[in-house]
């Protein structure tokens, strides 16, 4: 599969932040029944207690991550699966699915990426003692959204 660098070039030329924010807002409203809003200068940045990742391949190559603390991840699971969703597996599954939906919603908003960009299955990392490093240079778009008084960071890192 060959990659189409025109989308990566577009990411440098266009402001994809509003598209990413809209994708997050729509997924949280539809799937969780909750409105989220971007935070311009967050008082707190989300800790990495939970990080869900989706790989993108094809016309867009990179990774989309959703990072939040334990409280936010638990609230996401309860809103998706009901109040009894408390196990680490249920919390990870819910966060992974939210990440998957955000990635899909984002790519579908970009003309021409529907069939030319594939998504990986979600991967979720739990814990505090890790760091995530992209191995390729590229463009990064990040938004921090306020979800039930807790910060959730959504980042799109594209390879150049």
- Can you give the pLDDT of all 160 residues of the chain as single tens digits? 344 445 544 544 468 999 999 999 999 999 999 999 998 776 666 777 999 999 999 988 999 999 999 999 999 999 999 999 889 999 999 999 999 999 999 999 987 776 789 999 999 999 877 777 666 678 889 999 999 989 999 999 988 6
**Inter-CA distances, 54 with 37, 51, 82, 91, 150, Å:** 22, 10, 24, 16, 22
Hey, what domains does the chain have and what are their CATH numbers? 5-159 (3.40.1550.10)
Nearest to 154 by CA among 4, 50, 81: 50
Residues β-bridged to residue 53: 65, 123
The whole-angstrom separation of Cα 99 and Cα 85 is 18
Q: What is the pLDDT of residue 119?
A: 94
Tell me the Cα Rg of the chain. Answer: 15
The whole-angstrom separation of Cα 153 and Cα 51 is 9
Residues β-bridged to residue 124: 52
Q: Model pTM?
A: 0.87
SS (H, E, C) the chain: CCCCHHHHHHHHHCCCHHHHHHHHHHHHHHHHCCCCEECCCCCCCCCCCEEEEEEEEECCCEEEEEEECHHHHHHHHHHHHCCCCCCHHHHHHHHHHHHHHHHHHHHHHCCCCCCCEEECCCEEEECCCCCCCCCCCEEEEEEEEEECCEEEEEEEEEEC
The whole-angstrom separation of Cα 18 and Cα 115 is 22
Q: What is the pLDDT of residue 14?
A: 61
């Amino acid at each position: 599969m060959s990659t189409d660098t025109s989308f990566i070039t577009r990411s440098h030329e266009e402001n994809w932040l509003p598209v990413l924010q809209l994708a997050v807002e729509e997924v949280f409203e539809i799937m969780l029944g909750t409105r989220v809003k971007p935070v311009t200068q967050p008082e707190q940045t989300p800790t990495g207690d939970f990080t869900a990742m989706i790989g993108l391949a094809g016309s867009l190559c990179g990774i989309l991550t959703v990072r939040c603390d334990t409280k936010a991840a638990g609230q996401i699971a309860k809103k998706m699966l009901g109040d009894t969703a408390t196990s680490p597996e249920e919390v990870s599954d819910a966060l992974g699915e939210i990440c998957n939906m955000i990635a899909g919603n984002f790519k579908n908003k970009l003309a021409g990426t529907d069939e030319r960009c594939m998504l990986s299955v979600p991967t979720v990392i739990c814990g505090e003692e890790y760091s995530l490093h992209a191995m390729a240079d590229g463009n990064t778009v990040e938004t921090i959204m306020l979800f039930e008084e807790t910060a959730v960071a959504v980042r799109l890192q594209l390879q150049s």
